[in-house]
Amino acid sequence: MATTITFSTVYGSSELYARRLASSLDLEARDVADVSRVSDGVLVHFGGLYAGTVCGLRRACALAKPPVRLVVCTVGLADPGIEDNAETIDKTVRAIVRRDDLVIFHLRGRMDYRKLSVKHRAMMWALVKVLMKSKKELSDEDRALIGTYGKTIDFVDESWLDPVRTYLSQQVE
């Protein structure tokens, strides 16, 4: 079965994961904007989580019309091991991709505040301010976000790709 690997990235984590997966499978990873057609098999799309959406997801959906299977690999800072985080991301993706055969994986990325755009720095500043002024009890994730504000955070780990590789190997059988 043919496998196409795409990515859409702003700061590089999605591309890094896509290229690592592609390399391990002797394939090529391409920016989703540079792919014009996928006619069969599986399209695996890696996209960063930004402001309630996944980068390049709409383009990936347009490329992965049935019978092409769509696998979405979200890349973000939120810990997908926390059930609420994974459920929230799943709902976001499923609201955009209205397919019963959709498969979603969540990976953790990285962020270097020094490399953020002015817009993204402002968004992070506002988020931290809202969390700090919040009268509700902060979650561990909230405290971690506040504690790492302005620093480099790196959760990139090759092992996040293991479930994706396992899924793809089962599709070949």
Query: Which parts of the chain have pLDDT scores under 70?
Result: 135, 172-173
134 φψ region: left (φ > 0), alpha (ψ -120 to 50), beta (else): beta
Mode of pairing for the β-strands spanning 152-154 and 110-112: antiparallel
Same domain, 135 and 100: no
Number of domains in the chain: 2
Same domain, 72 and 147: no
Same domain, 77 and 129: no
Give me the sign of the Cα torsion angle 3, 16, 165, 48. negative
Same domain, 7 and 46: yes
Same domain, 91 and 124: no
Closest CA to 55 of 90, 11, 91: 11
Same domain, 85 and 131: no
CB of 53 closer than 8 Å to CB of 93: no
Q: Which domain holds residue 139?
A: 112-152
pLDDT at 172: 65
CB of 111 closer than 8 Å to CB of 11: yes
61-95 per-position pLDDT tens digit: 999 999 999 999 999 888 888 888 899 899 999 99
Q: How many residues does the chain have?
A: 173
Closest CA to 69 of 19, 104, 93, 18: 104
Whole-Å CA distances, 36 to 4, 6, 9, 31, 65? 12, 11, 18, 11, 12
Written as one letter, the residue type at 39 is: S
Chain centre to alpha carbon of residue 124: 18
What CATH number corresponds to the domain at position 41? 3.40.50.360
pLDDT at 134: 78
pLDDT at 94: 95
Same domain, 127 and 44: no
Same domain, 164 and 148: no
pLDDT at 135: 60
pLDDT at 95: 93
